[in-house]
């Protein structure tokens, strides 16, 4: 929870991945997985949301990634898909009924942070589908030494005009899919 401007605060949620060992080894970033969001600082806390991504082909124009999100009771709350867009990120965030509610971007992949991740943040505006207005944002922070050595990524979500808890969960799911699709390193590449 942030305590001052620019402070990232202490962890209040914990995310644990469930995926098949063989698929992690053979498919790496393309693997199917489920992320469980725990309402506390460890895996022992109750699950408040789960996000499932089936197998996909990263960077390919077909077999694109999709995240389906459920609440702690297993009820569908929505999904995020990431259709192919040349040189852009353009996610569609949908409600449980399939209605498009928000859109991440379109954001150019020509931002400085994509090419030099330790020099600049990467910004992803979240627009309301009905009004077209920016209502939130996701920022991938520039890498610091800790991120580089531990191979981690830091994201900041600014919910700004989004008040509904379900909408906030949908935007969190979109941020997680951004991380998996555009920033997860292929750990099977030994070059």
- 122-154 residue pLDDT tens: 999 999 999 999 999 999 999 999 999 988 889
Which of left, alpha, beta for 181 (phi over 0: left; psi -120 to 50: alpha)? alpha
* pLDDT at res. 2: 46
| Three-class secondary structure of residue 20 per DSSP | coil
For residues 34 and 28, what is the distance between their CA atoms, to the nearest angstrom?
14
Cross-strand pairs, 71 = 49
Output the pTM of the full model.
0.89
Q: Return the closest-CA partner of residue 101 out of 52, 160, 166, 156.
A: 166
* Mean per-residue pLDDT, 159-180: 96
- Residue 80 pLDDT more than 50? yes
- Residue 64 pLDDT more than 80? yes
Return phi, psi of residue 139, to 5°.
-120, 125
* pLDDT at res. 11: 72
């Amino acid at each position: 929870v942030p305590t001052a401007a620019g402070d990232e605060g202490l962890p209040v949620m914990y995310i644990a991945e469930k995926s098949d060992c063989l698929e992690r080894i053979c498919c790496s970033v393309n693997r199917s997985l489920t992320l469980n969001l725990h309402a506390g600082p460890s895996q022992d806390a109750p699950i408040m949301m789960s996000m499932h991504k089936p197998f996909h082909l990263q960077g390919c124009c077909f077999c694109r990634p999709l995240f389906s999100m459920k609440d702690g009771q297993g009820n569908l709350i929505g999904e995020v898909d990431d259709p192919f867009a040349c040189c852009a990120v353009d996610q569609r965030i949908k409600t449980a009924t399939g209605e498009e509610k928000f859109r991440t971007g379109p954001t150019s992949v020509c931002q400085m942070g994509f090419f030099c991740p330790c020099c600049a943040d990467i910004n992803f505006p979240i627009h309301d589908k009905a009004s077209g207005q920016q209502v939130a944002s996701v920022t991938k922070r520039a890498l610091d030494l800790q991120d580089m050595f531990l191979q981690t990524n830091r994201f900041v979500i600014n919910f700004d005009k989004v008040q509904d808890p379900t909408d906030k969960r949908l935007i969190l799911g979109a941020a997680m899919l951004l991380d998996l699709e555009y920033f997860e390193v292929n750990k099977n590449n030994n070059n």
